[in-house]
Amino acid sequence: MDIVSLSCYNSNQSLGPQLFQAHDAPGYTPAKIVLLVAVSAVIVFQLILRQVMVAENKRRNAEGNTPREQNAFRDLTDIENREFRYVY
């Protein structure tokens, strides 16, 4: 899970109980609208993240770095290990 989705999830978990007010019962329309917008934002962020990963994989392929097993268990981040490819 990426940081944007995690942030949105945590925000929804914190704000959710505050949105369902007694005076909005029984339909709770304002709460449903806010939650629908928040979930829609997560979907948009996921699509953007996918495009970023596709572009980075293309960039790394153009550099000529092919995935190799020798770096599989080294303690490198995805930025340090240029042979790393994102899976989407």
pLDDT for 57: 92
Domain ranges of the chain: 3-71
Per-residue pLDDT of 34-85, as tens digits, reads 888 888 988 998 899 999 999 999 999 998 877 677 777 788 888 888 888 8
pLDDT for 83: 83
Per-residue pLDDT of 10-45, as tens digits, reads 877 887 788 888 898 899 999 889 888 888 988 998
Residue 6: burial class (beta carbons within 10 Å; 0-12, 13-18, 19+): exposed
pLDDT for 56: 94
Cis status, amide bond into 17, omega within 30 of 0:
no
pLDDT for 1: 52
